[in-house]
Amino acid sequence: MNRLLALFIAFFLLNNCSFNENSRIWKEKDKDLSKKENVKKIFAEEEVKASEFNQEVKLNLSGLRTSKKIIDNTNNYGAQIYDGVFKKIGSFKFSKLDEINNLNYKPIFLSDGIIFFDKKGTIIRYDNNKKVLWKKNHYTKSEKKLRPKLNFTIKENNIFVTDSIAKYYSVSLDTGELNWSKNNTYPFNSDIKSYKNKIFVVDYKNTLRCYKIEDGSECWNLQTEDSFTISNAKYSLIIIDEMVVFSNSIGDITAVDIETGLITWQLPTQSSSIINETYNFKISKLVSDGKSIFFSNNKNEFYSVDVKTGVVNWINNLNSNITPIITGNLIFTISNDGYLYVIEKNKGNILRITDLFNNYKTKKRKDIQPVGFVIGNTNLYLTNSDGKIIIADLSEGKVLNIEKVSGDIVSEPFIFNNNLYVVRNGSIVQYN
């Protein structure tokens, strides 16, 4: 036995090898494997398939009071007061958008109406009766042909806009008239967040940019990855504890001091070589309860990360790029194959898994992807890539109804003033 051990050690020494993954023996092994056609690349496909777990467990909803606040500007919330009957009561119409299948753009909800945009970048303000109060377009003829897609936020009675053709500008909320307009080097690819007198947004160059609200001048910028990536998936950012926390194209999560633009902490989640090989990396929006940040990706990882340090609290094996929702001590999320997960927030324990796609035939469900969901007082509302919305009982995870919204994919649902809204191509549909 000792002789065999000695021979083994001698083999490694003579070959200048170690157990380190960078050693020659490992490289040779990988080289040989890469030549074989039957070898599957790690992370090349979404591999994890869920199955139901503790599906009979019922949740006590009495301790899960949803927020009475409207959707917050600085964080991403999906739990709202909603006890509607899900009856269509009208629609806000606009010209059809290109690439509606990748629509991740949300309207601005006001107490007296909605703001959205059309296929040529025209901003439209509606009242609650679906009538247009004003329409303004601040693009040249050539820019309109590019079909700019817009993202909004409201600050100090002004609308701050970023778009898919590298422009950003400010208009009056009351009239739509232009306050100022500027150009960025690269198109923008994230939601916009405002805090105090500043606006924060991420562009396709993985650069977080901080602008002054009053004139659009840049305060500072921070690039986290030197690559230009065109992606249908938006980068996510939240503002918490005087920091901007955001994701980039390869899954890095970075926390930045709001005033200085200096990095507070950074968490890599993926190898850049792996991401560059697969081309299909998607990450959910970031959400936070003030102490931890939660997010997931389509590479079988659900993270809980400490807000102050960026240290990982726990990781679950869960395949999803759908924005999770926090209610009380529970996290709800939906896997990319249609399973509803209920997770204990502090420790990451999975309490229940139920199948929301159980009414779809096996062959059909493979082609369907969840888009996004919200939680009301008692029910969950999930939109899918087949243009339908699934309504499920929150306490049991059982499907109550499936409603058709569109013949094509629809946006994630939104709740405002006890109404539910879904964006489809050509209109925003309102339900009570």
Q: Where are the domains of the chain?
A: 1-29, 59-104+321-432
Q: Tell whether the torsion through CA atoms of 307, 312, 314 and 316 is positive or negative.
A: positive
| Residue partners of 195: CB distance under 8 A and separation at least 6 | 74, 239, 244, 258
The pLDDT tens digits for 314-343 are 999 999 999 999 988 999 999 999 999 999
Element (H, E) at 245: strand 243-247
Of residues 172, 178, 221, 216, the one with CA closest to residue 197: 216
Which of 19-28, 29-38, 111-120 has the highest mean predicted lDDT (pLDDT)? 111-120
3-state secondary structure of 36: coil
| pLDDT for res 162 | 96
The pLDDT tens digits for 45-94 are 555 567 899 988 998 887 665 544 444 555 666 778 788 889 999 999 99
| pLDDT for res 26 | 33
Q: Taking residues 278-284, what's their average pLDDT?
A: 77
DSSP H helices in 93-222: 141-145
Q: Confidence class of residue 214 from pLDDT cuts 50, 70 and 90?
A: very high
pLDDT greater than 50 at residue 42 = no
Least confident of 14-28, 116-130, 181-195, 204-218: 14-28
| pLDDT for res 132 | 98
| pLDDT for res 275 | 60
The pLDDT tens digits for 146-204 are 999 999 999 989 999 999 999 999 999 999 999 999 999 999 999 899 999 999 999 99
Whether 391 contacts 431, CB under 8 Å: no
Take residue 297 and report the two structure tokens written for it: 């990706």
Of residues 420, 334, 423, 335, the one with CA closest to residue 377: 420
**pLDDT > 70 fraction of the chain, expressed in percent and rounded:** 81
Q: Confidence class of residue 396 from pLDDT cuts 50, 70 and 90?
A: very high
Q: Tell whether the torsion through CA atoms of 29, 30, 32 and 37 is positive or negative.
A: positive
| pLDDT for res 255 | 98
Q: pTM of the full predicted structure?
A: 0.86
Q: What is the dihedral of CA 12, 13, 17, 20, to 10 degrees?
A: 90
Least confident of 7-16, 137-146, 282-291, 409-418: 7-16
Fold of 59-104+321-432: Lipocalin (2.40.128)
Whether 153 contacts 194, CB under 8 Å: yes
Q: What is the DSSP letter of 102?
A: G
How many C-beta atoms lie closer than 10 Å to residue 295's C-beta? 28
| pLDDT for res 81 | 78
Q: What's the mean per-residue pLDDT of the chain?
A: 85
| pLDDT for res 39 | 37
Long-range contacts at 208-212 (CB < 8 A, ≥ 24 apart): 208/237, 208/244, 208/246, 208/254, 208/256, 208/261, 209/184, 210/244, 210/258, 210/261, 211/168
Q: Confidence class of residue 35 from pLDDT cuts 50, 70 and 90?
A: very low
